[in-house]
Chain A
Amino acid sequence: MKQLLSFIRKEFHHIFRDKATVMILLLMPIIQIILFGFALSQEVKNTKVVVLSTTSDEATRRIINRIDASEYFDVVGTVHNSDEIDAAFRDGKAKLAMIFEDHFSENLKHTGKSHIQLIADATDPNAANSFMFYASNIITNYQQDISQPQSGGGMIVPEVKMLYNPQMKSAFNFVPGVLGMIMILICAMMTSIAIVREKEMGTMEILLVSPMKPMYTILSKISPYFVLSVINFATIMLLSVFVLKVPIAGSFISLFIVSLLYIFVALALGLLISTVTNSQLAAMMISGMGLMIPVMLLSGMIFPIENMPAFLRFISNFVPARWYIDAVKTIMIKGLGLGAVLKDVGVLVLMGTVLVTISLKKFKVRLE
């Protein structure tokens, strides 16, 4: 026990004497949350709109006002011909152009039918899709407001309800993602680097010839990163609840249990990496390429898994973050209990057990 305690103390010294690293480790979640929350927002806000309308009538004005009033759009000006629309797109002055047909209001009144053409800059297809959807909604709403309920006319009005995330905040999606990424980064990457550093410095040899039990070495190596991960988990939770206003709909305890499980898997991954490599650089490359990229791209954090080709969808099954992120979304956003994430939990337990078994075996082999 004394062995273990002296060793754990040493590990904390290593980390906390390296001020730069500590700062990075503790600030990283904050920076990422801020980046994803504000800078890399996928929400469509204040899309610039230009309007082309030959007749300034009531209906046109109403629609333009509604568009402008919505937080999604910002009407920046009117243009007079298609050349000017072209120029506005080219100069990046507008992302959306609305073209009202001649005599818009009159046509609407007399024939019950009028056209608005919406032209979008689809350089970013996701964004274009979103604001097109918002714009059509606004126009449809206006139409519903002015149309009188006609007997027998038969009008179907779809009522759309966005469950769990009524305001369509992207934070609901990326908070679990950032959690999944930070944990992997800190647990797997930092643990593997810390262990490999001992090999590189030659101190591992000293440990191996000492009566220090390998299990103790491993335990003490991972303990500071475990603590850091729990701190980071708390930071991300506080930021998401109080800054991003993403509430924890489900039980915090369940969320914490699932997170501990994920930290365990990530630590096991780090351990495994440390057994297959002998240099810090290699450990960093493997965890960078081998972990970060799949976590970012294949976990559903940025790109929906459903949209992936079958092969990538298959690969994504082996990315622990995928299961963790799914579980976090279920508990935190949907507010369901542990019972709803049994599959995720099961997969993570399985992954952790397999990883720990392999790496303990490998770690021992190196002793002999």
Chain B
Amino acid sequence: MGVRGLNMDTVIKVENLTKRFGNFTAVDNISFEVKRGEIFGFLGANGAGKTTAMRMLCGLSIPTEGKGTVAGYDIFKQPELIKKSIGYMSQKFSMYEDLKVWENLELFGGIYGMNDKVIKQKTDELMIKLNFEDERDKLVKSLPLGFKQKLAFSVSIFHQPQVVFLDEPTGGVDPITRRRFWEMIYDATAQGITVFVTTHYMDEAEYCDRVSIMVDGRIEALDSPDNLKKQFNAKNMDEVFQQLARKAKRVDN
């Protein structure tokens, strides 16, 4: 895996990042760092600015102010290089439903410039690992949601990105399926992939190495789940979140 960043151990570094839409400041002067191999939880109520912040990191949206690097590349000047080094899975479960399982893998492998041999080999490995061999030739739309999410995650890290961005990846599935999904996430970090994940399930927040909580476009708290619980004198992440979210002035959209 090619590591091209200036600082080997910092995969995402953001300083004073701001995004405004007209008079509305969606993301207000946020700064943080994410270390290699870390699972970084990005929490916030709807409308707090999570998605906008994440879009800036992925090169989908240009920040109004501030600076930042992802995988060692500048988010203003090198979005195309960032795109090659990251994976992305969105909250809208997004794979091609009318393609077969292996065709989706082949397509995304092709988009990320992998050669046919590697694609084929990795597809074989993945099918065995996920116990998906029977589903290989099925159309994605015929699979249950839990399967699709696993597959979508596998697709997002198929090209061995440095960071993978997961935008509420486990929406709509039960806690057991969520737990299995997180096993895959741990597995990815073991391969050296950094995970940046937004969620609104507080049980998931507990699984992260560090968690940041956004309120009204600002990061109000950032630490490990244990430290946050101490800091806010709370039993669990849900209480931490509730205490912070209460301060929100923006109306939920």
Chain A residues proximal to chain B, CB less than 8 Å: 2-3, 5-7, 9-10, 13-14, 17-18, 201-203, 205-212, 367-368
B86 CB within 8 Å of chain A: yes
Q: Which 4 A-B residue pairs are closest in the complex by CB-CB distance?
A: A6-B110, A202-B92, A202-B94, A209-B88
Mask of B61-94 contacts with A, CB within 8 angstroms, 1/0: 1100000000000000000100110101111111
Beyond A202-B94, A368-B61, list 10 extra A-B contacts (CB 8 Å): A9-B107, A10-B103, A13-B96, A13-B99, A14-B99, A205-B94, A210-B88, A210-B112, A211-B111, A368-B60
User: Considering only CB atoms, which chain A residue lies closest to B57 in the complex?
Assistant: A209
For the complex, what is the distance from the CA of A126 to the CA of B236, rounded to whole Å? 81
Confirm or deny: B59 has a beta carbon within 8 angstroms of a beta carbon on chain A. yes
A10→B113 contact, CB < 8 A: no
CB distance from A36 to the nearest CB of B (A): 33
Contact: B83 with A7, CB < 8 Å?
no
What are 20 residue pairs bridging A and B, where the CB atoms are less than 8 Å apart in the complex? A2-B115, A5-B110, A6-B111, A7-B110, A10-B103, A10-B107, A18-B98, A201-B92, A201-B94, A203-B94, A205-B90, A209-B58, A209-B59, A209-B83, A210-B88, A211-B80, A211-B112, A211-B113, A368-B60, A368-B62
Contacts of B93 in A (CB 8 A): 202
B216 at the interface (CB under 8 A from A): no
Q: Does residue B28 face the partner (Cβ distance < 8 Å to A)? A: no
Q: Which residues of A contact B99 (CB under 8 A)?
A: 10, 13-14
Q: Which interface residue of A3, A9, A201, A210 has the most chain B CB atoms within 10 A? A: A210
The answer to whether B103 and A209 have CB atoms under 8 Å apart is no
- Please report the C-alpha to C-alpha distance between residue A329 and residue B246 in the assembled complex, in whole angstroms: 71
Chain A positions within 8 Å of B96 at CB level: 10, 13-14, 203
B60 touching A209 by the CB < 8 A rule?
yes
Nearest residue (CB) in A for B85 is A211
> How distant is the Cα of A9 from the Cα of B100 in the complex, in angstroms?
13
Residues of A within 8 A of B94 (CB): 201-203, 205-206
Residues of chain B contacted by A9 (CB below 8 angstroms):
107
Q: Which residues of chain B are within 8 angstroms of A210 by Cβ–Cβ distance?
A: 83, 88, 108, 111-112
Which residue on chain A has the smallest CB distance to residue B88? A209
CB pair A206–B88 under 8 Å, yes or no, is: yes
Which of A5, A6, A9, A13 counts the most chain B CB atoms within 10 A?
A: A6
A17 vs B138: C-alpha distance when bound (angstroms): 13
Q: Chain B CB within 10 Å — which of A9, A18, A211 has the most?
A: A211
Q: How far is the CB of B150 from chain A (nearest CB, A)?
A: 16
Rounded to whole angstroms, the CA-CA distance of A210 and B82 in the bound complex is 9
Contacts of A368 in B (CB 8 A): 60-62
Min C-beta distance of B228 to chain A, whole Å: 29
